[in-house]
Structure 1
Amino acid sequence: MINAIEIMNKSPLLADVNITLGYRIMDSCSDVSTALRATADFTQWTGCYTRSNTYGPPVMAVIGAYFSEISIAIARQLTLKMIPQISYSSTAVILSDKNRFPAFMRTIPNDEHQIAAMVSLLSTYGWNWVGVVTTDGNYGQSALDHFVSQASEKGICVAFKSILPQSVTNGDVCSAIMQTARTICKNPKVQVIVSFAKPTHMMYLYQELKNQTLGAGQKMETMRRVWLASDNWSFSSHVKGNITLEDIGHIMGFTFKSGDLSSFNDYLSRLEAAGPDYIRNNKFLQEFYMHLNSSTYSGETELVSKAVNRLREHTHAGTILSVEMAVSAIAQAVVLKALWMKEFKFRKNSYKFDSNGDINLGYDVTMWRSDGGNIYVHNVVAEYHPHSNNFTHTDHSSTQQLQDLKQIISKCSNSCVPGQFKKTAEGQHTCCYECINCTANYYSNNTDMDQCLSCDIDTEWSPDGSSSCIPKALLYFSWQDGFAVVLLTFSALGILLALLVSALFLHQRDTPVVKAAGGPLSQVMLFSLVISDISAMLFVGRPNSFQCKARQALFGISFTLCVSCILVKTLQILLAFQVDPEMQEVLRRLYQPYIIVSICVAVQAATCLCWLLLKSPFNYVIRHPTTLLEDCHEGSYLAFGENEGCIYRTEE
């Protein structure tokens, strides 16, 4: 804060107009009451500068506080006199309500964006069974409510909610932490815990977890979890106490965007070079000096160096950027409206408070790592972009670190594999379910499906527990079928024999034997046999409309032609052996070979034509549970019977 103010005072923005920013820094001691007394102190004389100049010029703006609970309390006081307040760390959503806090602004995003980032991360890794640890203040309750709301929309269930007293001096805090530790130990399936608590709470919680784990005779590895740390404690390495990071598990923190720290590091270097004389005039460094002096016998110069190094360790880059941005905004502002609505320059970039008084730059995602006993909390592995709600990895190493986390499972129930669906019992969390196999003709093609999908029963089927539908096998009288091969072989032989006999008869057509066999009628009969054998081929292969209509009609007409020729032969024989003159004369008059053949064929053709015109055969599919049988439907079985009857009557 001091460094940022000194930089702005030396900048051309203020130096050219001979304006100097003064400051009065007051420590809230992380306590609301202390912060309220301090706020009342400087607001009492703000606006009554003419009565007394003991305190100097009136306060024009306030930067802070760190914790949301404190910012909410003092914002109510500052709103009465419309004194601008800019926080560099308070993220409670309620502070974005301009009807209640019109004078409040901040250089960071509110918790809705942080919670959205957390929920997105949980969803990405498939962690849908999580615990939440928070405090009972405005910040903790608001964060809990928003997290539960956003998590439920993504199908993430909260296994337990542990609400700790906000003040660590509260007498109930110890029992609350003990109960929280017991809850965590009793929920081994909850491998991911989201925490909005304060650093001190987390330090006590980790210690209690260790005590209960060892007290139960369990190994330390059983307390390992993935901890999603809010900006409240994501860079507070001291929370681990005397417990190793390996025992705690993985800590992923969400921190504010960091920037260039060169100016702050230069400032610390100047402090270190100034030595003990300068530190006596800096109350904040004196606190470090006093703590170090009570635990070491080093010289004053060495104590100053240690105090400065301790500052380097415990000051987060994101906080520094937010503080510097707040100071820069105030330096460029004249009145509240200008501060809120107009853009301001900071490090060659333009920034602007939105309608809620926030500046949303996104978050850095850190993963704590241990190296040689030292904890590195500023290990940035990804960046969260709130406008697109996605993450980008910083480098290949960070990608690998995040990929390793996918091995961790935090679910109430194991995932239902494809072929199953989730069945949740009444009153249970939606994340706790039983996996049931899909029934026949139903399937699920993804994990954790809420219901099975139906197959198209006309063309598909599936057995129990199937992950996909199986096309029904299409069956018909195939050319490769054994019976079809035999049928076609005999048909081919019949055609060949008929053609050979026809050729022989044609060659010997003038001989008495051929003439006695019927002459031209023999050729007609042989032709009809060839057509009948050819029609047999229409019964083989995948049926189509033409085949279904042609095969019965062609066979019926050709076979009728053959039988009518045989009828003529029969009449010829009867005529030859008839001894009764009168009967012989009748038979001789009736014996008109070509007329008889034509009439028989015409009757059969007329029958087939009526059949085809009125209700012709068609191809159709008979659907069985696992197969499709494609066949020809005769259309009208009455017409089919009439067709066959004509052949029978001809034979008679």
Structure 2
Amino acid sequence: MEIQVFFLGLRLALSLFEVNSVVSLNGSLTGLTQRTGPTEAGTDGVSAKTSSVKCNLQGTARLPAFSKDGDYVIGGVFSIHNNMHTVIHNYTTMPESPRCTGSVDAGELRYSRAMIFAIEEINNSTELLPGIRLGYQIHDSCASVTVTVHAGFQLSNGQDPVFHTGANCSRSGMVMGVVGESGSTPSISMSRIIGSFNIPQVSYFATCACLSDKQQYPTFFRTIPSDQFQAEALAKLVKYFGWTWIGAVRSDSDYGNNGMASFLEAAHKEGICVEYSESLYRTNPRRKIKRVADVIRRSTAVVVVAFVAGGDMKVLFEELARDPPPPHQWIGSESWVTDPHLLRFNFCAGAIGFGIQKSVIPGLRDFLLDLSPSEVAASPLLTEFWEDAFNCTLGKSENVCDGTEDIKMLQSPYTETSQLRITNMVYKAVYAIAHAIHNAVCQETNFTTQCDKHSRLESKQVFTELKKVNFSQNGYDVSFDANGDPVAVYELVNWQKTEDGVIELVTVGYYDASLPMGQEFRINRNLSWVEGGTQVPVSVCTESCPPGTRKVLQKGKPICCYDCIPCHEGEISNATDADDCISCPREFWPNAERNVCFPKPVEFLSFDEVLSIILAVFSVGGACLAIITAAVFFCHRTTPIVRANNSELSFLLLFSLTLCFLCSLTFIGTPSDWSCMLRHTAFGITFVLCISCVLGKTIVVLMAFKATLPGNNVMKWFGPPQQRMTVVFFTFIQVLICTVWLVLSPPFPMKNLTTYKEKIILECALGPAIGFWAVLGYIGLLAVFCFVLAVLARKLPDNFNEAKLITFSMLIFCAVWITFIPAYVSSPGKFTVAVEIFAILASSFGLILCIFAPKCFIILFQPEKNTKKHLMNKNQF
């Protein structure tokens, strides 16, 4: 399988470079032709016992930008140039090796020089790799995949045109590890090449989450966090500030596509909607760049999340600067948001994003600025940088550098060391490989470290040790997880405009993915927003639904676009942007805003209500009236009008009327077990006692008339004892009915939750309706019977004949209770009780006024009629 992987990689390299060469394999070497010495046997030119093997490198070796010999060599690949010379091949001559063009990227040059600084620092250390000298081979990849692959093969092979292998010859040309590349796509290509030979690769700026796949990239490590962490951090940042409607722009590369895919997945989990997602690359035609810029200009999303490489972002900003769009809040990935070259675009002021932590590397600035003329002249790359920086030439006749150039005064990313972010990632990558080599070749003995520089060290050993490194350098911890990733810690940076109108990069907080959920952010400074605002901009498709409403998605639009619908009756939502309303418990009801459930008000006929007070006054007044009437009758008990109207039944009737008036008070107040049982039974018994007395008086009147006929002795059967027995008998039946009702299923207090939705009616449940209607029906039966008898006796020719008064009183009584039935059934809540009290009072007042008022009027105001003579005068009434 390893041989197959090698040939696939080799075929790729040959197709990329179009090198017409014959390549064969010996062990793990590539791009070499194998020749052997004399053999003992065999016809294929390869002996079973080989004394030595000589390999010739085919083609032209690509010289490194910087190199130095050492006991162990570390490779480096940096995009020091951003373009590659393009040649149209005619396939008639050997194609030349790819070469870089364009100006030197001063930032990448600083990274490469930082690698040299780190190696020199290690070589001077007495603790790390003592007695061992590290060398380096640093290549310029031209930001090209093809050149990166070429550099990967060369770092695997070495540069010697003739290479000997044997029992006593080590392969000194193979590097122990590689630092680089900065881009994810070139890093992927290089990892597939050098990973086949177990050469570890430690990138300082390749952040694609795909590189964490150890199945495809087993030897890949990095000192910068994966884009998976950054994508999740960006999604949480957007959610943290309440933005749910955003635009998305990405680089059309492994970095941008994979990073944006991770971000969109995390954003979806956070409930964030994306209005558009556009891609671009720096080499795209201008019409495509313009189309992306127009999408941003026309969008309604205020926030734009850009997962874009610095070079691609520069091209996009330049296009937007031609026709500046409406203000947008830019959210950036670390690739561009910390790029000092982009701070000149003023319309992006207020941008925020994540950056690698700033760091301090003691001695680095002095090393970078310590460039002697001889050192610059000896390096073509440094010569090119020097000539570009100072606009002069070295060793040429035109505009010759005169020696007054001072690099310390140069304003360039090369000399900018106040924002050491990625540079520190390079520094840590070099130290990580050095620690792995140290652990492989050094041993601790008697408090001293012994290192064997003659040890035959394989890159696989370094790869194994690199997975276990864990150290601290300059206060920054370095370690790798199972995927080769470090702990994700970012600075939250903000583009803030100074008083001079210059945008500067300000650290306003931190993000630590290792902290518990919800505590990852720590913001310690005020942020400057788009257009210099101090308030967090709003970027939503629809304004948030307030509590008391719920979201209803708009058809055909993302989930962030919705309408706000008030909760239904009896439901609430107590959170912003609630998806559903919740029903209040049965005994609770929403407030007017429908965001809180309050206990339903409990309603009953209480004594402190105006209606209850009025009814109570009439109840007590009626009872007092009955007592006063009884007092009047008692005081005039010897008068004819009292004696003629059956005074015993009259007093009993007045007593029962007093109880009828007073029993209405049991209907007022909080229903309880005793009050519920008392109110209906007391009402039923007292009214039957009352009607029984009226019925007894009516029967006495009828029988008294019959007794006046000659030979009729019927009155002896309706004397006082019989009258008392009649009252007791009729009353006993009602007592029996009430007793059965109370024993079997008595009335009880209950909360009526159905009549009104918004309040609770506290009332007495009657139990089986048959009990209540039996009590009421028996009263009605006696009243009708009494009414019929009174009608029969209404024309009897006696003065003070009570039959007419009883007839009228029973007419009122029956009318009241016939009217009471529909009113009782249809009255809601506490008004049901009020109707019942009103019926009791109305019928009681009807009885006392119709039966006793005329008699009391005569007794008190017409005493001349209260005589036996007047009573016996049949011509007067």
Residue range with higher mean Cα deviation, 320-329 or 518-527? 518-527
1:484 paired to 2:584 = no
Name 1:181's counterpart in structure 2: 293
Equivalent residue, structure 2, for 1:292: 389
Residue 91 of structure 1 is matched in structure 2 by: 207
Shift of 1:323: 2.0
Residue 649 of structure 1: how far off its partner (Å): 6.0
> Quick one: which of 496, 499, 505 aligns to 2:624?
496
Contact 1:257 1:361 in 2 (8 A): no
Residue aligning to 1:558: 686
Unaligned runs of 5+ in 1: 214-219
- Judging changes above 3 Å, is the alpha-carbon distance between structure 1 residues 482 and 373 closer, same or farther for their aligned structure 2 residues? closer
The answer to whether the 8 Å contact 1:237/1:375 transfers is: no
Q: Which residue of 2 aligns with 1:257?
A: 357
Matched, 1:210 2:321: yes
Instruction: Map 1:103-502 onto structure 2 (within 5 A).
Output: 103-165=219-281, 168=282, 170=283, 172-187=284-299, 189-211=300-322, 213=323, 220=324, 222-241=325-344, 243-244=345-346, 247-259=347-359, 261-263=360-362, 266-272=363-369, 276-280=373-377, 285-294=382-391, 300-307=403-410, 310-313=413-416, 316-333=419-436, 334=440, 335=461, 336-347=463-474, 351-371=478-498, 372-377=500-505, 379-387=506-514, 388-389=516-517, 390-397=519-526, 407-454=536-583, 460=589, 467=595, 474-499=602-627
- Is this contact kept in 2: 1:440–1:462, CA < 8 A? no
Measure how far apart 1:394 and its partner are: 4.8
Report how far residue 134 of structure 1 moved.
1.5
CA distance in 1, matches of 2:704, 2:132: 145
- Aligned to 1:549, which of 677, 684, 689? 677
Deviations 1:166-218 (A, max 9, x none): xx3x3x3422211110111111x12111222222221221121121x2xxxxx
- What is the CA-CA distance between 1:359 and the residue it aligns to? 0.9
* Separation in 2, partners of 1:576, 1:563: 20
Per-residue CA deviations over 1:529-565 (Å, capped at 9, x if unaligned) read 3322221012223444443332121012122223434
Number of residues paired by the alignment?
630
3-state SS of paired residue (2:329): strand
The correspondence for 1:2, drawn from 116, 131, 135, is 116
- Give the corresponding residue for 1:217: none
2:732 counterpart SS class? helix
Q: CA deviation at 1:314?
A: 7.0
Q: 1:25 to 1:302 in 2, by over 3 A?
A: same
Q: 1:458 to 1:433 in 2, by over 3 A?
A: same
User: 1:567/1:159 Cα in 2 relative to 1: closer, same or farther (>3 Å)?
Assistant: closer
SS in 1 for 2:135: coil
Provide the secondary structure at the position in 1 that maps to 2:120. helix
Q: Which runs of 5+ in 2 are unaligned?
A: 1-114, 394-398, 441-460, 788-877
Q: Mark the structure with the bigger radius of gyration.
A: 2
* Match in the other structure for 1:645: 780
Matches within 5 A, 1:611-626: 611-614=741-744, 616-618=746-748, 619=750, 621=752, 622-624=754-756, 626=758
Give the Å deviation of 1:453.
Answer: 3.9
Q: 1:269 & 1:567 partners in 2: Cα distance? A: 126
Give secondary structure in 2 for the equivalent of 1:557: helix
- The one-letter amino acid of 2:425's match is S
1:430-488 per-position Cα deviation (integer Å, ceiling 9, x unaligned):
2233444445555544333334444567753688x955567666544343444432221
Q: What do residues 301-339 of structure 1 show as CA deviations (whole Å, max 9, x unaligned)? A: 543113486424377422133222222221111222121
Quick one: distance in 2 between partners of 1:380 and 1:97?
A: 32
CA 1:467–1:525 in structure 2 vs 1: closer, same or farther (change >3 Å)?
same
Aligned AA (1:538): T
Contact 2:139 2:151 in 1 (8 A): yes
Structure with the higher fraction of residues in helix conformation: 1
Per the normalisation by structure 2, the TM-score is: 0.64
Deviation of 1:502 after TM superposition, in Å, equals: 6.2
CA distance in 2, matches of 1:299, 1:537: 118
Name the residue aligned to 1:216: none
Q: Distance in 2 between matches of 1:205 and 1:226?
A: 15
Q: CA deviation at 1:41?
A: 1.7
SS at match of 1:90: coil
Report the secondary structure of 2:684's partner residue: helix
Aligned to 1:132, the other structure's residue is in SS state strand
- Counterpart residue type for residue 564 of structure 1: S
Q: Distance in 2 between matches of 1:356 and 1:544?
A: 73
1:123 is displaced (CA, Å) by: 0.9
Question: 1:177–1:205: 8 Å Cα contact kept in structure 2?
Answer: yes
Which of 729, 744, 754 is the matching residue for 1:599? 729
- 8 Å Cα contact 2:348/2:530 also seen in 1: no
Q: Please state whether the residue corresponding to 1:194 is helix, strand or coil.
A: strand
Aligned AA (1:232): S
Measured in 2, the distance between the counterparts of 1:349 and 1:208 equals 39
TM-score (norm 1): 0.85
Displacement of 1:272 in angstroms is 3.4
Contact 2:200–2:220 at 8 Å: present in 1 too? yes
- For residue 35 of structure 1, report the CA deviation from its aligned partner: 1.5
Q: Which amino acid aligns with 2:137?
A: R
The secondary structure found in structure 2 opposite 1:232 is helix
Deviation string, structure 1 residues 66-102 (Cα, Å, up to 9, x no partner): 1111111111111111011111111111111111111
Cα RMSD of the aligned pairs, angstroms, is 3.8
The structure-2 alpha-carbon separation of the partners of 1:512 and 1:92, relative to structure 1 and needing over 3 Å to count, comes to same
Secondary structure (helix, strand or coil) at the match of 1:115 reads helix
Whether 1:40 aligns to 2:153 is yes
Equivalent pair of 1:422/1:448 in contact (CA under 8 Å):
yes
